[in-house]
Structure 1
Amino acid sequence: MKATDVQSEIKELNLAYLMLAQQMIKTSRESAMLKLGVGSDVADIIEGLTPGQILRMAGSDMMLCRFRFDDGLLVNLLANHERDSAASRIHAAILAAGRPVEQVA
């Protein structure tokens, strides 16, 4: 994959992430904050973005979302394909909820 292809994919990911995050926050703020791993200040910013601001932010070649896969247990729970996958997903959600949220510095 070429560097220009990677940059294009990052921009598409950013746009999809920001649009989804804004929709989630407007629909169910508390649930969105938990699922996105962001605090109230970041949620306020995302919620207030205009379409033009979203497009400008999405145009960055830096990924705006962050994966919370820094815990081997969390990764294993989410990747679990055993019969009791619902319990694994609930356990993973509980672990993710206990993580610190992103704040604006």
Structure 2
Amino acid sequence: MNSNDMMAEIRDANLSYLMLAQQMIRADRATAIFRLGISQSVADLLAGLSNPQLLKLASSNMMLARFRFEDSTILGMLTNYNKERSLAQSHAAILMAGQPVEDVR
């Protein structure tokens, strides 16, 4: 994959993420904040972006979404396909709820 192709893929992923995040925030703010792992101030900022602003932000040269599962315990719970899958997912959600949210600095 050449550099131009990679940048186009990053832009597409960013735009999809931003549009989904904005829809989630507008539909159910509290749930979106929890599921996206963002702060109120970031939610306010995302909810207020216009379409041209979304496109400009999506065209950044870096991924806007980041991998949230830095804790191997949580990642293991979510990838463990056993009989108690729903219990593992619930436990992982409880552990993630205790993690700090991302904030604009």
**TM-score, reference length from structure 1:** 0.95
Residues 35-61 of structure 1, C-alpha deviation per residue, up to 9 Å, x if partnerless?
Answer: 000010000000000011001000111
2:20 aligned residue = 20
Query: Gapped runs of 5+ residues in structure 1?
Result: none
For 1:57, give the aligned amino acid.
L
Q: What one-letter code is carried by the residue in structure 2 that aligns with 1:36?
A: L
Residue of structure 2 equivalent to 1:64: 64
**Using the alignment, how far apart are the partners of 2:40 and 2:50 within structure 1?**
18
User: Separation in 2 of the partners of 1:78 and 1:6?
Assistant: 28
Q: CA deviation at 1:4?
A: 2.1
Segments ≥4 residues shifted beyond 3 Å: none
Aligned identity (percent) is 47
Cross-structure match for 1:45: 45
CA distance in 2, matches of 1:81, 1:4: 37
Task: Report the TM-score when normalising by structure 2.
Answer: 0.95
Where structure 2 has 5 or more consecutive residues not aligned to the other structure, the ranges are none
CA distance in 2, matches of 1:86, 1:2: 41
Q: Distance in 1 between matches of 2:100 and 2:54?
A: 25
Distance, in Å, in 2 between the alignment partners of 1:85 and 1:2 is 39
2:101 partner SS: coil
Matches within 5 A, 1:1-105: 1-105=1-105
Please state how far the C-alpha of 1:84 moved relative to its aligned partner. 1.2
Cα distance between partner residues in 2 of 1:58 and 1:92: 30
| Aligned-partner Cα distance in 2 for 1:2–1:82 | 40
Give the drift of 1:67: 1.2
